[in-house]
Structure 1
């Protein structure tokens, strides 16, 4: 019988000596990596960011995990795209599988999780649901307070309008700060992958030019270049952009 959320969190916190309060926090990938490390003792924990806060950091953690799965010939597919969205149900199901895997494969040796991650910080945001959902929840809560809903734990009584408004302002300011940090993370992720695509484009272009000198062609390179230069349906490159000849704006 599968463990409950509270049982899984208690096991996870004890095993890794962390303080997760929500299953969603596992979507950062750090805890999953260290569960594997507790079994094999050879996961490169220096490459795992335990306090990851942005999706591109979560993906990097899962790449480490995928490499371990491949090296250990673990055939379980890792639904990375779902897990990094930090939804409770997806991570609950995967953590339940990880617990069963650990029960089956843990050799019973002593494990020092803090030493293995070299004292790396483990704090992740307590709530890691998508930004849009968090903003919607905040708006709903604020509306409930205005309409005489239940007073939040530790909050002000409904009779004080100024106190309620002050809480709403603080909440919105916190959301704005979090959204700004999230946007910054997305921009870094975009630049990271754009740089990779640009390197691929240059390499393909150089190879095709070398082949052209010998009147040769390479079907694979041509297909790669076709993919790089493809656009979404209905999108057209502006004439003035083509006229500038700016190669930096390829994508």
Structure 2
């Protein structure tokens, strides 16, 4: 069961369009951005599809908008991880922020994990809409009660006359609201620019790492200690700990073996010289 996947694994080269198609096809959703999965509900249902009956879907809130609601979904997901003995750490504080890169990487891992369980074959007997329906019915009932109360309140007051309606329409949005909207649009444009820069930077460093990996796979370099040390860093699977210490230890051990071999070679040469002198 692939719970830990190294950063150079092909899973982290899956594009967002492929991920969105994978989610939408299997769960009958219509996501257009990976950030829309930040609530954790999608991840819960993907595991429910992969391991039927393990996820208590009645506790999953697909309408979660606030962070505290999303955190509840991730608590459900963490419980499922514990049941399935999945050791991947859940960085909830980062995921609920809706940052594209964090959610993209988590969904890339999720796809690889689910594919490793069922070979990428979709569970034809699973009805994603039906599995969500219980929570949906509960929300519908709550919504209808709010609507009925609203209607009762409106019935207690006379309808506004046509002149007041026309006046309210003529006034339009308040200037303060218009300024706030402009500020939010500017902030959104800045965020999109930041995301584009981060994605380009990520792709740049991934390409560099890939070049290093290809170089390290050269057969003639297999026995070079520094190449082995670099491979230990490239293929490390623990995301929480640095592999630098292991690589340095490997390098030191390799150097020790080489030094020992050189010492033995020098000793053999001295013995040969001694023997030749004695014979003379």
**TM-score, with normalisation over the residues of structure 1?**
0.48
> Which of the pair is proportionally richer in helix?
2
State which structure, 1 or 2, has the greater radius of gyration over its C-alpha atoms: 2
